[in-house]
Amino acid sequence: MYAFNYTDDGGQPQVAVCNSLPDESYGFGVITPIEVPSQPDKLFRKAWTIVGNDLVVDLVKAKEIAHDKRRTQRDELMKPHDDIIAKQIPGNDAVAAEAARVVIRDANATIQANIDACVDEASLRLLIETEELPT
């Protein structure tokens, strides 16, 4: 989906939203800037979808974005422990590294369940902020 700004014949600012179709043709709709979801950070821009004449955030797609952020955070937290286990670095305790990985996995499973339980965009945004997931 693509969004771009332009000015109509009357000099009024407009936003055109184009959705790429499988045959690589484009469908589009024109909406006013007021109708564009108010997301200054554009966190869920890739989850925007057109329903009727409205531009809305698709909650399923937004949850996928949140899960990607969760996985990114998990991978960063796991990396030092993965390195100890995979590289068998001398002077480091592989058992302790695996125990740390278990703690990270358990915490991540809770975040995953909380993302899945979100019922709207606002609760998903709050969860991302609360869990300090990367934006």
DSSP for the chain reads -EEEEEE-TTS-EEEEEEEE-TTS-EEEEEE-GGGS---TT-TTGGGEEEETTEEEE-HHHHHHHHHHHHHHHHHHHHHHHHHHHHHT-TTS-HHHHHHHHHHHHHHHHHHHHHHHH--SHHHHHHHHHHTT---
One-letter amino acid for residue 113 of the chain: A
Q: Which of residues 5 and 59 earns the better pLDDT score?
A: 59
Whether the pLDDT of residue 64 is over 70: the answer is yes
Specify the higher pLDDT residue, 121 or 24: 121
Rounded-to-integer distance, Cα 61 and Cα 26, Å? 21
pLDDT at 36: 62
Residue matched to tokens 């009024």:
12
Q: Is the pLDDT of residue 10 over 60?
A: yes
Q: Is the pLDDT of residue 8 over 50?
A: yes
pLDDT band at 49 (very low <50, low <70, confident <90, very high): confident
| Predicted pLDDT at 42 | 78
What interhelical angle do 121-130 and 94-117 show, nearest 10?
160
pLDDT by residue (tens digit) across 65-109?
Answer: 999 999 999 999 999 998 888 888 777 888 899 999 999 999 999
The tens digit of pLDDT for each residue in 12-42 reads: 655 555 554 445 555 555 666 555 655 556 7
Measure the CA–CA gap between 47 and 125, rounded to whole angstroms: 13
Which residue would you say has higher pLDDT here, 113 or 14?
113
